[in-house]
Amino acid sequence: MDKISREINEENQSDLFKGLEPIGRILELDGYHVWGTSPIRDEDGRVHLFFSRWPITASHYGWVMCCEVAHAVADSPEGPYEVTGVALKGTGGTEWDSWSIHNPTIHKIGNKYALFYMGSNGSHFDKSQEELIALSKSDKDAYHPYFRELVATKRVGIAVSDSLDGPWERLSDSPAIPVGEDGSWDDYVTTNPAFLKHPSGELWLYYKAWSKATAMQSNGNRQYGLAISKTLDEPFVKYPKNPVINLSHMGNNTQCEDAYLFYKDGLFHLLCRDMGYFDHNVGLHFISEDGLTWGYPKIAYREAKYYFDEPMPGLDREGRFERPQILVDKDGNPDYLFAAYVGGRVNTSSAVVLKFKK
C-alpha cells in the first residue's frame, strides 16, 4: 500500500478549491458573536443567510448556552446584508432544545424550506441562563462544568417553513437524530447536521457524533454518521454501518467536524474542518461514488492567513475557518464559500466569504 502523504502542499490540494478568491468579512455585528452562516438563493436570486449569533455579554463558549439563529438578506452573495430578525431560538421551558439553537444549515426540499440545527438544554441546572452568561465571562473555570454538561445535551433538530422569511415550525418535539444505545459510537451527542438530497430522491442527513468513552478519554473523537428518510414527515433511520467517516485509525485522535455535502458530476463531495489529518487550520475535501465509502481527503481551503491579511487578535480558535457552507450557482456548481472566523471589527467573530474560481 502506498504511503499516504499528510503534508500541506500543492500535491495534496483539491483542484475544486484551488484559486479561492477572498471577498471579505460580512455580518460584523455590534453586540454579537456570529458563527455558522448558511446561504441559499430565493427564486428572485436574492441571497438569504441563516446564521448563529449570541450576545457578547457571554464568552465565545456561550454558543452552546444562549445562541439563536438569525436571518439576513442581500442582493449579492458578497453583501451588504440586512439582518431581518430571528428565525429560530430556544423554546424555553424544559424541551431538549430549550436553550441554544446553533450551527444551522438551510435547504429547499420540495415546496418546503428545511432548517437543520443543533439544540441544547440546560433547564436542569442550578443556575439560570442569565447567571451562566455572566459566569462564562467572569469565571471560565467555574463555567466549564456547565459548558461540558450542555455539550452532552446536543441533539439534531429540524424546522420547516413555506418561506425563507418564516415563520419556522419545528417538525417534532423530539430530536430528529437521538443518541445511540450505550456503548455505541454515537451514545454521547448528535450534532452539526449536513443534508443532501440523494439522486434517488431520498433525504440523507449526515451528523457529527462521538461516544461517551472517547469523551472521557480525549474530549471526544468526532465522527460522521448518516440517517436516511424518504420524506420530511417520516423518521430518519440511521445507516446500519455507521460511522461513514472515522479518522481515528490515523492516530493522535485525528478527527473532523462541520461537514457540508454536495453532489456534482456524479460524485458525492464532503467538505469539513480538519482536526488533525493535515492540521487543525485547513478544510478537508472528501469524494465518494456512493456517499457511504469515502477515500482519503485532499485539502480544501487553507488557513485563514493564506487569504486574509489580518493581524491575529489573540482570541481562541483564531487563524482558521470553521463551519464551511457553500452557495451553489443555478447549475448546482459551488459558487461561494461561507465560513466562520474569529476577530474582525468588533473583535468577536463574524462570517467570511470566498468565491470559487470558474
Q: What kind and span of H or E run contains 209? A: strand 203-210
Length of the chain: 358
- Tens digits of residue pLDDT in 186-204: 999 999 999 999 999 999 9
- Tens digits of residue pLDDT in 262-281: 999 999 999 999 999 999 99
Contact partners, residue 353, CB within 8 Å, separation at least 6? 23, 24, 25, 26, 77, 78, 79, 336, 337, 338
- Please tell me the total count of domains within the chain: 1
Q: How many helices (H) and strands (E) are present in the chain, helices listed first? A: 3, 20
Q: Answer yes or no: is 2 within a domain.
A: no
Q: Answer yes or no: is 172 within a domain.
A: yes
Grouping H, G, I as helix, E, B as strand and the rest as coil, residue 320 is coil
CB 189 within 8 A of CB 210: yes
CA-to-CA separations, 139 to 146, 289, 313, in angstroms, rounded: 12, 49, 21
Q: What is the pLDDT of residue 323?
A: 98
CA dihedral 96, 325, 232, 263 (to 10 degrees): -150
Domain that holds residue 244: 10-355
CB 169 within 8 A of CB 87: no
Around Cβ 28, how many Cβ atoms within 10 Å?
17
- Tens digits of residue pLDDT in 46-75: 999 999 999 999 999 999 999 999 999 999
Q: Answer yes or no: is 3 within a domain.
A: no
DSSP 1: -
DSSP 199: T
**Percent of the chain clearing pLDDT 90 (strictly above):** 95
Indicate the pLDDT class of residue 3, thresholds 50, 70 and 90. low
Around Cβ 138, how many Cβ atoms within 10 Å?
10
Whether residue 230 is predicted with pLDDT greater than 80 in this model: the reply is yes
Contact partners, residue 72, CB within 8 Å, separation at least 6? 27, 48, 49, 51, 81, 82, 83, 84
pTM of the model: 0.97
Whether residue 4 is predicted with pLDDT greater than 90 in this model: the reply is no
For cell 471589527, the residue is: 345
> Which is higher by pLDDT, 322 or 317?
322
Hey, what's the cell of 223?
465522527
Q: What is the pLDDT of residue 306?
A: 96
Indicate the pLDDT class of residue 1, thresholds 50, 70 and 90. very low
Q: Answer yes or no: is 1 within a domain.
A: no
Dihedrals phi, psi of 226, to nearest 5 degrees: -140, 140
Q: What is the CATH number of the domain that holds 20?
A: 2.115.10.20
Whether residue 2 is predicted with pLDDT greater than 70 in this model: the reply is no
Q: What is the pLDDT of residue 286?
A: 98
Q: Answer yes or no: is 299 within a domain.
A: yes
Q: Answer yes or no: is 5 within a domain.
A: no
Q: What is the pLDDT of residue 80?
A: 97
**Distance between CA atoms of 273 and 83, rounded to whole angstroms?**
27
- Tens digits of residue pLDDT in 124-182: 999 999 999 999 999 999 999 999 999 999 999 999 999 999 999 999 999 999 999 99
Contacts 24+ apart (CB under 8 A), 163-171: 163/113, 164/40, 164/42, 164/48, 164/71, 164/106, 164/113, 165/71, 165/84, 166/71, 166/87, 168/87, 168/88, 168/115, 170/91, 170/97, 171/232, 171/233
Whether residue 15 is predicted with pLDDT greater than 70 in this model: the reply is yes
Q: What is the pLDDT of residue 312?
A: 87
- Tens digits of residue pLDDT in 87-127: 999 999 999 999 999 999 999 999 999 999 999 999 999 99
Q: What is the pLDDT of residue 358?
A: 82
Angle at 196 between CA 194 and CA 199, to 5 degrees: 165
Q: Answer yes or no: is 192 within a domain.
A: yes
CB 161 within 8 A of CB 169: yes
Around Cβ 183, how many Cβ atoms within 10 Å?
9
Q: What is the pLDDT of residue 340?
A: 98
Residue 238 bridge partners (DSSP)? 227
